[in-house]
Structure 1
């Protein structure tokens, strides 16, 4: 009888272990197709976030499972806890309510939000007010500048990628699309899109734009998340993170 009782003890005790304490060895990483910073086309996903996480995962004995998804779907999955990590996110108060951002940012762009139109449209946007009445393609789930994002009078047409935005513009389904000048034009050249048919409107909103790695709320509570954060910040402190972002033509990582 004693042996039978002892055999049941581990099972009984396991029922009282909180689920948060059960740690997985596989970390799910949401990756959207946003060249040159990430690519989900081809046999294997690749990109800057994976360049950063791979050596960290190797050191911790973790496996990275890539989940390819459109940008808006990636953000939604992260917010719902369906994936653990995503990168390239602009930090906003709204996003901070459901996500945990990891500092420092690994992407730092001193660029402008620009509005692109067809060259032969004859359109000229010289100020913010001139945007009213125009159909503007925006990346679904993306953050831009506060005035634009909060403006409910703007006609915003959500799209899943900059490539789709350009295709809609070329077909006359939208009048403009908004993008970060530095990344949008680089992406269009990588995707071999006809940028010569477009024109940048005079109006622009210049800002310092930072892209962060972020965790889902549940994953942020795990020991793996804390270990990843610690090693990530060690890379930033030691200058290795700057070396990892250098091939992507990004500036050095600011240290603490």
Structure 2
């Protein structure tokens, strides 16, 4: 095919892609006007945030760019449905129970599971999570899977109520004795603090958080990522007890509009500097 013909075809495809985006945004806006003719009354979403830091050497999970982006996205989404966000510092396990009972309205960074779907509506996803094993550099980097890790002596910290993928779930079922080697932390901050204090040999954490924390020389000289154990999209999980179907539809629609307009990507490119 002649080069000019290829250039023309490429230009045509670019125009078509742009046209599709414009049509998508237009369609969503028209649908928005039809569905949301009457605005909802003002509301407030209570959202779980990490408890206070427990070890300064571990850094702050709340202060990481990734974590702050989650809440910036939630703030923007809530504002579009005439709501505000009220952060509450809670342990992870307790927060999930409160979400189930309708005492907490939303949690960020939640994997969608059948169990959680009983009491949560999932909006998003807002992040692609890769769970990794982070460990002391005393552990050889030749350890590349969970079976090799579990063959070593020592404790592993996890977040209470967190989901680490089907392989991890199956290991827990097949090896009941594994529970005795786990430290179920109240949140990511406590989990990392356990690692830094030397009370556990390894911790399971979101790779994006780990990468950010390991930019600190004092941490990178002592700890390393070993391997990925699971990856999946994570969502805003809204309580079925406190969010009705009309509000849910608005949240879902406004999230689609935020994506189509490029707002989600713009927020991800920003560097938030304040906690929610």
Normalised by the size of structure 2, how large is the TM-score? 0.65
Shift of 1:213: 0.9
| Aligned position for 2:65 | 36
Shift of 1:74: 2.7
Work out which structure has the larger RCO, using CA pairs closer than 8 Å and 6 or more positions apart in sequence. 2
CA contact (8 A) 1:37 1:248 kept: no
CA contact (8 A) 1:138 1:156 kept: yes
1:115 equivalent among 128, 133, 136: 133
2:242 equivalent among 210, 216, 219: 219
CA contact (8 A) 2:80 2:254 kept: no
Q: What is the correspondence of 1:11-90 to structure 2 with a 5 Å cutoff?
A: 25-32=43-50, 33-34=61-62, 35-38=64-67, 47-90=68-111
Distance change >3 Å, CA 124–CA 56, structure 1 → 2: closer
Report Cα offsets for 1:195-225 as digits up to 9, x if no partner. Answer: 3112333xx2365431211110122325333
CA contact (8 A) 1:81 1:219 kept: yes
CA contact (8 A) 1:91 1:212 kept: yes
Shift of 1:68: 2.6
Alignment of 1:197 with 2:222, yes or no, is yes
Separation in structure 1 between the aligned mates of residue 90 and residue 215 of structure 2, nearest angstrom = 22
| Total equivalences in the alignment | 214
Separation in structure 2 between the aligned mates of residue 194 and residue 205 of structure 1, nearest angstrom = 19
Separation in structure 2 between the aligned mates of residue 232 and residue 61 of structure 1, nearest angstrom = 14
Mark the runs of 5 or more structure 1 residues left unpaired by the alignment: 1-21, 39-46, 250-256
Distance change >3 Å, CA 121–CA 182, structure 1 → 2: same
CA contact (8 A) 2:45 2:83 kept: yes
| Aligned position for 1:161 | 187
C-alpha RMSD over aligned residues: 3.0
Separation in structure 2 between the aligned mates of residue 232 and residue 218 of structure 1, nearest angstrom = 21
Shift of 1:121: 5.2
1:142 equivalent among 147, 152, 162: 162
Shift of 1:93: 2.0
Shift of 1:137: 0.7
CA contact (8 A) 2:165 2:231 kept: no
CA contact (8 A) 1:23 1:222 kept: no
Distance change >3 Å, CA 165–CA 101, structure 1 → 2: same
- SS of residue matched to 1:209: strand
Separation in structure 2 between the aligned mates of residue 200 and residue 49 of structure 1, nearest angstrom = 23
Separation in structure 1 between the aligned mates of residue 76 and residue 207 of structure 2, nearest angstrom = 31
Separation in structure 2 between the aligned mates of residue 244 and residue 194 of structure 1, nearest angstrom = 28
More helix by share: 2
| Aligned position for 2:201 | 175
CA contact (8 A) 1:220 1:226 kept: no
CA contact (8 A) 1:137 1:176 kept: yes
2:145 equivalent among 124, 127, 149: 127
CA contact (8 A) 2:133 2:229 kept: no
Mark the runs of 5 or more structure 2 residues left unpaired by the alignment: 1-39, 51-60
Distance change >3 Å, CA 148–CA 208, structure 1 → 2: closer
| Aligned position for 1:15 | none
More strand by share: 1
